[in-house]
Amino acid sequence: EEEEEVEGWHQLYPGHIPTSPLQKALLAAGSAVMALYDPYRHDMVAVLGETTGCLALPNLRDKMKNHPEGYRILQERPRIRLSTLDMARLQGLPDGSLGREYVRFLEDNKVSPDTRMPPKFVDDEELAYVIQRYREVHDLMHTLLGMPTNMLGEVVVKWFEAIQTGLPMCVLGAAFGPVRLSTRKLQVLATELVPWAIRSGLNASCVLNVYYEQRWEQPVESLREELGIFSPP
């Protein structure tokens, strides 16, 4: 029982680490520096998201609560993990379907949905799920936006997510991610990709309100249209 109590703070869900506002500020500052120094430090990006998401997360939760599909996701709490995905079924879906293209994305980029960090510093069990869900649909954002996991692709997805979620870590990633790109890539980013990502982010309905697990058969094109994401340049 001793471990459950931290100076009168309670553990709200497995893995939760209660922190004071000052500790959150220090964690945010430290993780921001590390995440800017090395954008591939996903653990630092994750900590930054949790310690700075106090305004954006309730806002996202409310968007989900006020939407029939989003509300169902909050009630049922689906998880996107290797243990919950029927990979063989997804691989057997037609080309162009969300499920097939998602698996193709995972294979081409050698990523796994299981690498997403579980939340630790969010002091609300429901909001912890919201940020968990945001992390688990991140690879689906790449699939929908047609972006690889290289630096260029990540920056574009971060711009889209920053507009969509208002999470400060996305804004930081969008603003400082490009510092390592070559001039030519920066030019493509500034003139084509970022304007498209911003337009799409503003135009699209909330991407957390899609029960992706029930949409695997839907063509990516039709889901883009439904959400209001413009075709990639």
- The average pLDDT across 185-203 equals 92
Residues ≥6 apart with Cβ < 8 Å to 227: 144, 204, 205, 207, 210
pLDDT class of 26 with cuts at 50, 70, 90: confident
Query: What is the predicted pLDDT for the residue at 216?
Result: 98
Dist CA 75 CA 56 (whole Å): 20
Instruction: For residue range 45-103, list pLDDT tens digits in order.
Output: 677 777 777 778 999 999 999 999 999 999 999 999 999 999 999 999 999 999 999 99
Instruction: For residue range 132-179, list pLDDT tens digits in order.
Output: 999 999 999 999 999 988 888 988 998 999 899 888 777 777 777 777
Query: What is the predicted pLDDT for the residue at 3?
Result: 44
Instruction: Name the residue type at position 88.
Output: A
Gyration radius from the chain CA atoms: 18
Each domain of the chain, given as residue ranges in start order, spans 21-227
> What three-state secondary structure class fits 10?
strand
Q: Is the pLDDT of residue 5 over 50?
A: no
User: Residue 123 carries which DSSP code?
Assistant: S
Dist CA 130 CA 136 (whole Å): 10
Tell me the CA distances in angstroms from 31 to 34, 43, 64, 134, 179, one per residue in order: 5, 8, 28, 19, 18
Query: What is the predicted pLDDT for the residue at 123?
Result: 86
Query: What is the predicted pLDDT for the residue at 97?
Result: 98
Q: Is the pLDDT of residue 30 over 80?
A: no
pLDDT class of 41 with cuts at 50, 70, 90: low
CB 99 within 8 A of CB 213: no
Query: What is the predicted pLDDT for the residue at 117?
Result: 82
Q: Considering only residues 94 and 184, tell me which one the structure prediction assigns the higher pLDDT.
A: 94
Supply the mean pLDDT for the chain: 87
Share of the chain above pLDDT 90, in %: 52
Q: Considering only residues 116 and 196, tell me which one the structure prediction assigns the higher pLDDT.
A: 196
Dist CA 216 CA 141 (whole Å): 14
Query: What is the predicted pLDDT for the residue at 22?
Result: 79
Query: What is the predicted pLDDT for the residue at 35?
Result: 67
pLDDT class of 40 with cuts at 50, 70, 90: low
